[in-house]
Chain A
Amino acid sequence: MTLRKRYLRVTHLLFIALLLIQLLPDKSTKEVFTGSLIAFAVGLEIIVLGASSFIKKEEGVSLLLDIAGFVYVLLGVWSLATAKFNVLNDLLFPAPGKVIHQFTEDRSAILTNIVSSLGTTVKGFILAAVVAIPLGLFIGWSARVGGAATYITKFFSSIPPIVYIPYGIALLPTFKSVSVFVIFLATFWPVFAGTMSGVLGVDKKIIDSAKVLNVSKPEMLFRVILPASLQQIFLGCNQGLSVSFILLTSAEMIGARDGMGYYVKYYSDFGDYTRTITGLLVIGFVVIGVTFLFNKLQNRLLRWKR
C-alpha cells in the first residue's frame, strides 16, 4: 500500500469536517462540552492512524477506517442537530460532547455496574455450561433416553426464561441470585440441546475409530464425543449468551440495585437522558466485547475445522 493510499482516505476528511463543525457557534441553551467531543475525536483519529500503520492486511485497515468514518459522520450529524442548530429537544437529546463528558465523569460508577453485570452473567453462564455439557454428553450418548430428552428439552426451552423471574424472587433470597438463576435457565436449555444434537450427530465412523482403539468410557465421552460435538455445543452457547444479556438487563431494570440495566432505568426515571444514552452505548460496547472474546475462544477451540 502506498503512503498516499494509506493516509489520504475519506475518513480523515470526515475527521477534519467534524472538527470544522465544532467551530460553528453553539445554539443550545444547555452545556454542550465541545472540548470532550474534540478530545474524543482526536483520540480516535490517533488510534486509527497508529493502527493503520501497524495492521498488515489491507482489508483490516479499510474496515477500521470505514468504522471510524461512520463514527465521525454520526458525531457530526449529532452535534449539528443538537449543539449547533438545536433542532431537537435538548432535554431528550443531549449533545455528543455531553455524553462523552458524562462517561468520563461517571466512569467509576459505570465500571462497578459493568463488573456487577458481567459477574452475574458469567456466574449463570458458566454454571449452566458446567452442568449442561456433561449432562448432554451422558444423555445423548445413552441412546435409550436420548429421544425422550429431545422432547422434554423442546418443552422447557420453549418457556421464555424471563417468566421465571417472579417465581425466582419467591424462591431465592437475593435479587442477584434470581438473576443468576434466570441466566442459568436461559443458557442451560440451548447448551443442553446443542450438546445432545452434537452427540447424536457424531459420525459413526469416528465412534468406530475410537472403539477399535479401546477407549474407556470417560475417554469416549470427553476425548472423543465432546470434541466431535463441540461445534454444536458452541452453537448452543452462543444462543445462551445472547439471550443472557437480554435477560440480565431486563432483570436489572425490574428489581436490581446495580448493573448496567439498573443504571439506564434509574437515570431515565429521573429524566437524566444523558446518562441513559451513556448507559445504552456502554451496554453495546460491553456486549460486543464479550461476544468478540467468546468468538475468539470458539475459533481457537475449533481451529482444527478447516
Chain B
Amino acid sequence: MTTNKIEIKDLTVNYIENKRSFNALHDVSFGVGRGEFVSVIGASGCGKSTLLSVLEGLYTPAGGSVQIDGKELHGTGTERGVVFQHYSLFPWMTTRKNIEFGIKQSRHDVKRSERAKIADEFLTKVGLSGFGSKYPSQLSGGMQQRAAIARALAMNTEILLMDEPFSAIDAKNRVVLQELLLKLWEGDGTEERKTVVFVTHDIDEAILLSDKIVVLTAHPGTVNEVVNVPFERPRRREELVKTDEYGKFRNRLLSLLYSDIAERIGGDEVVL
C-alpha cells in the first residue's frame, strides 16, 4: 500500500445530457503524493475539470474510488481548499471578509477576532495589502485570483485544488501569478508543502509548477501517461526555458497531448 495523499483508482464518470449518458472519464487511476504538485493537462473536453469536480466533492463518480489519506472521499470538505477560474470569491463580500469566511469554515480553532489579522497577513503575502476592503468587482481579474489564492492558503488546508485558475488572465499577468504561486508553494522550506492538484491546458504552466504531470486523452477521458518533471527546485522560469532539456521535455508532452489526434488523422478518422 502506497502512502499517497490522494489515490484515484479506476475512476469513471458519466455525464447525462439530454437524457443521453456519455462517458466523461474512463478508468482513470493515479496517485498524488503528500506535498506533491501534480498538474492535469489535456485538450478541452478531455474531462480534466470533471476530474477536479470529483476531487472537490461536487460530482459523484459512476465507478472507481478516490481516497484521501486512505479514506474514501464523500462530498465536499474543508480539508481541501479550492481555487476556481471564476467566482471563487463571493462578490458581495470584501476581499478581507471573503478570506475571513474561508477561515471560519475551515479553522474552527481560530477566534473571530484573529480572522481579520490572518486575512490581512495573507493579503500581504499575495501582494494585495491595502485591498482588504475592496469588493471583487473593484479588482482586476489577476487581483481576484490573487485574493482567491490568499483565501485558499489562509484556510490552511493540506490539499489545494486549482481548476484553471489563471486561464482567464492575460498572458503577462499569468506569468506573474504562476511565479507567485510557485514562490508561495515552494516556501522557504520550514513548512510542509501542500498537496496540489492543478488543472490547466497550458503546457509551460504545468512544467514550471509541477512535480508530476498527468496527460489526459479525450473521448472518453483516460490517462495517456503520467510524466515526472525532471527539473530541480527552486525553479526560475527565465533559466528553465532557455535549456535544451526544457525544449525536449516540452516536445514530449506536446506529442503525448496530441498523440490521439495524430492517431486519428493517421486512421482517416478526423474531418477537419
Give me the interface of A with B, judged by CB distance under 8 Å. 203, 205-206, 208-215, 223-224, 227-228, 230, 303-306
Decide: A211 near B58, CB < 8 A? Known: A205-B86, A206-B87, A306-B138. Answer: yes
The 10 tightest CB contacts between A and B, nearest first, are A227-B92, A205-B87, A304-B135, A212-B82, A306-B137, A213-B105, A304-B92, A214-B78, A206-B87, A212-B76
Contacts of B137 in A (CB 8 A): 304-306
Asked if A208 contacts B101 (CB within 8 A), the reply is no
Tell me whether chain A's interface is mostly helix, strand or loop, or mixed.
helix
Instruction: Indicate whether B102 reaches chain A with its CB closer than 8 angstroms.
Output: yes
Closest residue of B by beta carbon distance from A306: B137
Asked if B90 contacts A214 (CB within 8 A), the reply is no
Contacts of A306 in B (CB 8 A): 137-138
Contacts of B105 in A (CB 8 A): 213-215
In the complex, A124 Cα to B58 Cα: how many Å? 41
Give me the interface of B with A, judged by CB distance under 8 Å. 53, 56-58, 76-78, 80, 82, 84, 86-93, 101-102, 105-106, 135-138
Asked if B92 contacts A209 (CB within 8 A), the reply is no
Tell me the smallest distance from the CB of B112 to a CB of chain A, in Å.
Answer: 15
With A209-B90, A211-B57, A213-B101 given, name 15 new contacts (CB 8 A). Answer: A203-B87, A205-B87, A206-B91, A208-B53, A209-B84, A211-B58, A211-B76, A212-B56, A214-B76, A214-B77, A214-B78, A230-B92, A304-B92, A304-B136, A306-B137
Asked if B77 contacts A224 (CB within 8 A), the reply is no
Asked if A224 contacts B90 (CB within 8 A), the reply is yes
A-B contact list, 8 entries, CB within 8 Å: A203-B87, A206-B90, A208-B53, A211-B57, A227-B90, A230-B92, A304-B91, A305-B91
Contacts of A223 in B (CB 8 A): 101
Contacts of B86 in A (CB 8 A): 205
Contacts of B82 in A (CB 8 A): 209, 212
Closest residue of B by beta carbon distance from A224: B90
Closest residue of B by beta carbon distance from A204: B87
Asked if B92 contacts A208 (CB within 8 A), the reply is no
In the complex, A227 Cα to B89 Cα: how many Å? 13
Contacts of B53 in A (CB 8 A): 208
Tell me the smallest distance from the CB of B152 to a CB of chain A, in Å.
Answer: 10
In the complex, A45 Cα to B87 Cα: how many Å? 51
In the complex, A223 Cα to B105 Cα: how many Å? 13
Contacts of A211 in B (CB 8 A): 57-58, 76
Contacts of A208 in B (CB 8 A): 53, 56, 58, 84
Contacts of A212 in B (CB 8 A): 56-58, 76, 80, 82
Contacts of B91 in A (CB 8 A): 206, 304-305
Tell me the smallest distance from the CB of B1 to a CB of chain A, in Å.
Answer: 28
In the complex, A269 Cα to B36 Cα: how many Å? 86
Closest residue of B by beta carbon distance from A203: B87
Asked if A205 contacts B78 (CB within 8 A), the reply is no
Asked if B102 contacts A213 (CB within 8 A), the reply is yes
In the complex, A208 Cα to B59 Cα: how many Å? 10
Tell me the smallest distance from the CB of A232 to a CB of chain B, in Å.
Answer: 14
With most chain A CB atoms within 10 A of its CB, the pick from B56, B87, B106 is B87
Asked if B135 contacts A213 (CB within 8 A), the reply is no
Contacts of A206 in B (CB 8 A): 87, 90-91
With most chain B CB atoms within 10 A of its CB, the pick from A205, A211, A214 is A214
Contacts of A203 in B (CB 8 A): 87
In the complex, A206 Cα to B101 Cα: how many Å? 14
Contacts of B138 in A (CB 8 A): 306
In the complex, A227 Cα to B90 Cα: how many Å? 9
Tell me the smallest distance from the CB of A185 to a CB of chain B, in Å.
Answer: 30
Tell me the smallest distance from the CB of B258 to a CB of chain A, in Å.
Answer: 30
Contacts of B102 in A (CB 8 A): 213
Closest residue of A by beta carbon distance from B148: A209
Asked if B92 contacts A213 (CB within 8 A), the reply is no
In the complex, A187 Cα to B105 Cα: how many Å? 36
Contacts of B93 in A (CB 8 A): 304
Tell me the smallest distance from the CB of A129 to a CB of chain B, in Å.
Answer: 19
Contacts of B89 in A (CB 8 A): 209
In the complex, A200 Cα to B78 Cα: how many Å? 26
Tell me the smallest distance from the CB of A302 to a CB of chain B, in Å.
Answer: 8
In the complex, A228 Cα to B136 Cα: how many Å? 14
